[in-house]
Amino acid sequence: MSWEVSTMRSRKSYFNPVLYRKNLARFWPLWGGVSLVGCVVPLYMLLMLLSYSGAGFHIENNDASSAIYSVVSVIVPAGLLVYAALCGVLCWGYLTNSRSVGLYHTLPVSRTCLFLTTVASGLTMMLVPFVIVGGLSVLVLLGWGVFPLKALVWGALSVIGMSLLFFSLITFSAMVSGNSFAVLAFYFLGNFLAPALDWLLTSFARGFLFGVGSDYTGSVEFFSPVFFLYRHLGVERLNDEYVLQGTWVIGVYVLVGLAILAVSLLLYHRRRSESAGDVVAQGWLKPIFRYGVALLFGLTLGQVLYEFVYALPFGTSQYKRMVPMAICVVVTAVVGYYVASMLLKKSLRVFRGSWKGALTTAAMVVILCGCVSFDIFGSVGYVPDLEDVEEISVYGVAQAFHTQGDSALAQQVTDLHRAILADEAYIRDMTDQSGVSYYGYSYDTWDTRDTNSRTLYLEYVMKNGATVQRQYHLPLVKDRWDNQPDTYDYKLRQTAYGPEAAVARVTPEHGGTPDSLYAQYRNDDGSQELSLNGDAARKIYAAVLEDAAAGCILSDDVFGDGGSSYLCTMEFYFRYQEEGDGLGDYHQESVYVDLDFFMSSTKAALEEVSPEWYAGLLEANGVTSVSLGTAVMET
């Protein structure tokens, strides 16, 4: 046979069965070992069912579905994250060694064929343990007459989807690196980079910016699949049937995984064989790696260095100082730059002629510090327009409350927000003088009868789904609180301690009237409980609303003498239905109300509905007819 005939290919080949089988045969200890360990699951299940059978226990499809969904939503994401890393490092290992890359790339197959075959073998390695463990588990369930088909299908699809995602991520890492350790580092770092950067940048900004109140926004969590999957996957009972929540997330990630594989294939074609062993195998990625590592070093170690060399010995301010912080960040970023250069060059001799890069790094982080410090995006002075606000939540002063963006109370909150911003210099000055630490804890020197402090948390949920969070540590002065209407102290009293806020606090998120009420107090005879349903509970709740509107609910006496007028806590239960829920499927919401001595309407209603319990409550709190009369006169 001639060369032309024997080597002729009638069509392009995208899969090589020899390589596929070779990969599975070479790496059987991994998938075989994982399968063996996984067999503990059906064995445990079998033993449990055997042990329960004697006690007349019956397992149903629904129980099995719940267990399958729990495994898929709790164990599988983290398990696949690790297992995909192992499979990927083995399957793509040939790219990290110049000898093996020489053999593979000499073979008469295209890179597309090598890539697709390796992906197929990697995915097979990932799924084989699930097939074995799942198959044995189904056999055990069949022994008890249970076959949750729907849960099995959803479980299998979810596992396939997540396997595809995680294997595509390790494949991408293998395409951009030629070193096994670096492949793993890129993979795990990549999986957590987005939330890590979110946390680093937000905590960095928080150190400079007045009121920027969060260490973590969570806005980029989608780019960390494990985080995002755990955030959205779960088991829910709906219409007496368990369902897997968040399957849409897996669907989206399957598309993302396919896109990542397509990009990885392109990168494989661009990849130079001689990059085997290199930390970064793609030329275009090298400057990104170098400056990215520098930035990460600056943001992490820079902040640590600042704490050690400046904040701990000298710093008393709630906020960080720009110059020392910039110096710390520049120093650590330049160190990061040289570390990255050493990794790229695989040599410690990187200093000659590298001053330009080091200077660029320094300039880059100085600009970053400047941008954050001078608030170029104007986040400090930003107060959301109420037209764009869905809901506002206020925490930290008395009980939390929530209000809709179009309410009068929302207008009061934004007025308070503006008043706080107008007094920024005063607040910074006062908190520095009073020794308020960065973390916002107040010290005794500030807490006198005429002065106090509170940390106010504001959270705006915007109509587009975004959130704006602010946190202000507010020094409060009694004179301003009582007599100066233009100050934030006064506006805080009007807003957070006014009747509108009080009504908002006792109003459930979904509105409506309560179905039941539960309260208890303790006396010498033990716990005395009050449980009311229907009209009785609604009567008490109506009295609570009346007291709230009259401004009689107050559980945070800012300038008080520390005395307590608290009697007990009442818990109202509200039932509501979500849109799209099946008929008869209700959710429950609770509202807690601290019964105060001055809530006269509520007390009267309680006395009317349950006089014995009410009398016992007063007695347990040491309220006699004499003290009661005195209190009424004082009121």
Partner 1 sequence: MIEVKNVVKTFDGFRALDDLSMGVQEGAIYGLVGPNGAGKSTIIRHLTGIYRPDSGQVLVDGEDVYENPGRKARLAAIPDDWYYFPSASVLDMMRFYRGFYPSFDKDRYEKFKEVFSIPEKSLIRRLSKGMQKQVAFWLTMCCRPKYLILDEPVDGLDPVMRRQVWSLMMADVAEYGTTVLVSSHNLRELEDVCDHVGILSRGKLLLERSLSDLQENIVKLQAVWQTPEPPALPGEMEVLHTSHVGRVYTYIVRGSAAAVQQRLAPLQPLMLEALPLSLEEIFIYELGGEHYAVKEIVL
| Binding residues for partner 1 (CB under 8 A) | 1, 3, 6-9, 13, 16-19, 22, 26, 97-103, 105-111, 113, 269, 272-274
- Cβ-based nearer residue to partner 1, 30 or 76: 30
Beta bridge partners of 521: 528
- Cβ-based nearer residue to partner 1, 106 or 635: 106
DSSP secondary structure of 167-187: HHHHHHHHHH-SSHHHHHHHH
Residue appearing with tokens 């629904």: 62
Q: How many CA atoms lie within 13 A of 441 on its CB side?
A: 4
- Cβ-based nearer residue to partner 1, 109 or 328: 109
- Cβ-based nearer residue to partner 1, 266 or 371: 266
- What phi and psi values does residue 393 have, to the nearest 5 degrees? -115, 140
Q: Torsion angle, CA of 235/239/240/245, rounded to 10 degrees? A: -10
- Cβ-based nearer residue to partner 1, 6 or 527: 6
Q: Give the shortest CB-349-to-partner 1 separation in angstroms.
A: 13
- Cβ-based nearer residue to partner 1, 90 or 606: 90
- Cβ-based nearer residue to partner 1, 20 or 319: 20
Q: 187, 88 in Cβ contact below 8 A?
A: yes
Q: 333, 367 in Cβ contact below 8 A?
A: no
Distances (CA, A) of 213 to 276, 440, 441: 46, 11, 14
Pairing of the two strands 451-462 and 516-523? unpaired
Q: Give the shortest CB-364-to-partner 1 separation in angstroms.
A: 24
- What phi and psi values does residue 437 have, to the nearest 5 degrees? -75, 175
d(CA 183, CA 93): 10
Residue appearing with tokens 């463990």: 133
Q: Give the shortest CB-99-to-partner 1 separation in angstroms.
A: 4
- Helix, strand or coil for residue 384? coil
Q: Give the shortest CB-25-to-partner 1 separation in angstroms.
A: 8
Residue appearing with tokens 């908190």: 431
Number of Cβ within 10 Å of residue 550's Cβ equals 14
Q: Give the shortest CB-12-to-partner 1 separation in angstroms.
A: 8
C-alpha 344: how far from its chain's center?
Answer: 34
Q: Give the shortest CB-3-to-partner 1 separation in angstroms.
A: 4
- Cβ-based nearer residue to partner 1, 114 or 409: 114
Q: 600, 581 in Cβ contact below 8 A?
A: no
Q: Which helix (H) or strand (E) holds 528?
A: strand 526-533
Q: Give the shortest CB-146-to-partner 1 separation in angstroms.
A: 42
Q: Give the shortest CB-334-to-partner 1 separation in angstroms.
A: 23
Alpha helices by DSSP H, listed for 319-391, are 322-345, 355-373
Q: Give the shortest CB-178-to-partner 1 separation in angstroms.
A: 14
Q: Is 324 exposed, middle or buried (0-12, 13-18, 19+ CB in 10 A)?
A: middle
Q: Give the shortest CB-108-to-partner 1 separation in angstroms.
A: 4
Q: 215, 128 in Cβ contact below 8 A?
A: no
**DSSP state letter for 101:** H
Q: Which of 487, 492, 470, 488 is nearest to 209 (CA)?
A: 470
- Cβ-based nearer residue to partner 1, 2 or 527: 2
- Cβ-based nearer residue to partner 1, 105 or 231: 105
Q: Give the shortest CB-289-to-partner 1 separation in angstroms.
A: 16
Beta bridge partners of 461: 391, 467
- Cβ-based nearer residue to partner 1, 275 or 431: 275
